[in-house]
């Protein structure tokens, strides 16, 4: 075995090779040396375990090149989302519009007027431009931007109700992804939770009877990620707002997803709209930027100017604020809402949600021959009707009719199916589907780059 160790080349001898010198020029001397040292250690371990030299011992340069490329591959890789979930949390939720992508790129390339006032060359506020735009779109008096809707809820509670009571219906004490729970947020914000009603039924009198001297807020949480049916009763936002006015208490509404358009006009279920709640008199309304809005991750708070000013002055606001890139992408997304007649064409999220089954089926028929040519020997390839979901806690029980390509192993083997899914995940652009009933389902609802898909499925 010691003889095998002696056959390993030294770093100096490797660096004198012309192929290594080319790698050094491309990747830098320091990085190349680090890779070669890793290769030497790996070779020694291989000898100890296998009692032979590694296969790449005859070509260190090519193996070094391969390792350098592997280490340089981004951890955030583009994928083809054929999972059947449009707003997939694990895949980054909303796909941004091209105008938002361009705006983010511009903000990254040069200094911008983030907190600089061109009027007097003094310091401005980073939320100002977007606040004005949000006020135009929603009718709110002012707006505040933080890094997600959870942060928005935390800031509202911490700024407006520290050490005081916040009244919420027991049926609205939701948990969202990552075990994030409304009661826990209240604890972190220094509030006292006052639950009213029961899981399935809450009445206006429950809120009224719970109001005490130390009550700071009435809170309404939109249960966007689940639905209770049957013997139920919930207090509407309008009823709670009226009670808030009667009791001189602010009413805060956490919408979760939030949609600035009436989705029912596209044949989708209706969602509460922030501007309607503002018009009804809600004090503050918060919602996400990267769900139904179709923008980057952000938490948007709109409402009364005096309350927004309190949020802006709270120390947490600086910790929760967003950067120039997010603001640029969010502003570009909001600008699209000024042209609602073109929104379904320009905003990817809405474009995906409004695709018809007929359109998706026609796409499936176009792709079917290429998938059969690539996988037909081992798999039965077919088109099947399917139901997509919106995702990210938005309209949880609603399904969108569509079409999927299904690949079923001819040998009926689960290992054959798993090998295919692994191969598709390991491609240059991973293809993400879902396994159901012994087949791989590739839901086509969000697929736009057909050429890339064919290339990945054929590799």
Q: What is the CATH number of the domain that holds 332?
A: 3.40.640.10
Same domain (yes/no): 231, 201: yes
Quick: pLDDT tens for 133-174.
999 999 999 999 999 998 999 999 999 999 999 998 887 776
As a whole number of angstroms, the distance between CA 63 and CA 56 comes to: 6
Same domain (yes/no): 206, 128: yes
Q: Given 288, 321, 344, which residue is the final one in a domain?
A: 344
- Rounded mean pLDDT, 330-356: 95
Same domain (yes/no): 230, 110: yes
pLDDT > 90 fraction of the chain, expressed in percent and rounded: 70
Neighbours of 118 (CB within 10 A): 8
The CATH number for 359's domain is 3.90.1150.110
Give the per-residue pLDDT at 397. Answer: 59
- Rounded mean pLDDT, 249-264: 91
Same domain (yes/no): 158, 238: yes
| Strands 80-81 and 284-288, sheet pairing | unpaired
Same domain (yes/no): 278, 179: yes
How far is Cα of residue 382 from the mean position of the Cα atoms in its chain? Answer: 31
* Residue range(s) defining the domain that contains residue 225: 98-344
Q: Is 220 exposed, middle or buried (0-12, 13-18, 19+ CB in 10 A)?
A: buried
Same domain (yes/no): 315, 383: no
Give the per-residue pLDDT at 181. Answer: 74
136 by DSSP, 3-state: which?
helix
Same domain (yes/no): 202, 107: yes
Give the per-residue pLDDT at 230. Answer: 59
The two counts, helices (H) then strands (E), for the chain are: 20, 15
Average pLDDT, the chain: 90
Quick: pLDDT tens for 12-53.
999 999 999 999 999 999 999 999 999 999 999 999 999 899
Same domain (yes/no): 324, 370: no
**Cβ atoms 196, 169 nearer than 8 A:** yes
Same domain (yes/no): 54, 111: no
As a whole number of angstroms, the distance between CA 239 and CA 114 comes to: 40
Half-sphere exposure at residue 254, Cβ-oriented, CA atoms within 13 angstroms: 30
Same domain (yes/no): 123, 221: yes
Whether residue 107 is predicted with pLDDT greater than 70 in this model: the reply is: yes
Q: Name the band, by pLDDT with cuts 50, 70 and 90, for residue 297.
A: very high
Give the per-residue pLDDT at 178. Answer: 56
- Rounded mean pLDDT, 84-108: 95
Q: In the 8-state DSSP scheme, what is residue 436?
A: E
Same domain (yes/no): 110, 1: no
Backbone angles phi, psi at 51, to 5 degrees: 60, 35
Same domain (yes/no): 296, 389: no
């Amino acid at each position: 075995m010691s003889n095998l160790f002696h056959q390993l080349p030294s770093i100096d001898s490797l660096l004198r090779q012309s192929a290594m010198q080319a790698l050094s020029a491309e990747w830098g001397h320091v990085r190349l040396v680090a890779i070669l040292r890793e290769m030497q250690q790996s070779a020694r371990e291989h000898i100890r375990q296998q009692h032979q030299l590694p296969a790449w011992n005859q070509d260190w340069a090519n193996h070094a090149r391969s390792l350098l490329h592997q280490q340089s591959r981004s951890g955030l890789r583009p994928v083809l989302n054929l999972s059947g979930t449009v707003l997939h949390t694990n895949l980054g939720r909303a796909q941004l519009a091209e105008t938002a992508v361009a705006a983010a790129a511009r903000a990254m390339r040069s200094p911008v007027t983030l907190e600089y006032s061109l009027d007097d060359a003094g310091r401005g506020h980073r939320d100002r431009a977007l606040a004005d735009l949000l006020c135009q779109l929603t009718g709110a008096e002012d707006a505040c931007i933080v890094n997600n809707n959870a942060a928005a809820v935390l800031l509202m509670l911490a700024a407006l109700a520290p050490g005081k009571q916040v009244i919420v219906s027991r049926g609205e004490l939701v948990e969202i992804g990552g075990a994030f729970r409304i009661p826990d947020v209240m604890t972190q914000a220094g509030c006292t939770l006052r639950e009213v009603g029961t899981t399935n039924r809450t009445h206006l009198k429950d809120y009224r009877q719970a109001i005490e001297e130390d009550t700071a807020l009435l809170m309404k949480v939109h249960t966007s990620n689940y639905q209770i049916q049957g013997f139920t009763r919930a207090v509407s936002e309008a009823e709670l707002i009226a009670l808030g006015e009667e009791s001189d208490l602010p009413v805060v509404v956490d919408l979760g997803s939030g949609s600035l358009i009436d989705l029912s006009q596209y044949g989708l279920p209706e969602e509460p709209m922030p501007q309607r709640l503002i018009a009804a008199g809600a004090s503050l309304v918060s919602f996400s930027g990267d769900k139904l809005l179709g923008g980057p991750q952000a938490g948007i708070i709109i409402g009364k100017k005096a309350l927004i000013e309190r949020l802006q002055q709270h120390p947490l606001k600086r910790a929760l604020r967003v950067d120039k890139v997010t603001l640029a992408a969010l502003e570009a997304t909001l600008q699209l809402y000024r042209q609602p007649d073109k929104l379904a064409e320009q905003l990817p999220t809405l474009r995906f949600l409004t695709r018809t089954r007929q359109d998706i089926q026609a796409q499936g028929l176009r792709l079917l021959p290429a998938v059969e040519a690539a996988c037909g020997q081992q798999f039965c390839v077919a088109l099947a009707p399917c139901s997509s979901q919106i995702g990210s806690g938005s309209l949880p029980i609603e399904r969108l009719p569509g079409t999927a390509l299904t690949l079923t192993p001819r040998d009926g083997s689960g290992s054959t199916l798993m090998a295919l899914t692994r191969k598709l995940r390991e491609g240059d652009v991973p293809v993400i589907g879902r396994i159901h009933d012994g087949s791989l389902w590739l839901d086509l609802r969000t697929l736009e780059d057909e050429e890339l898909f064919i290339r990945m499925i054929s590799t």
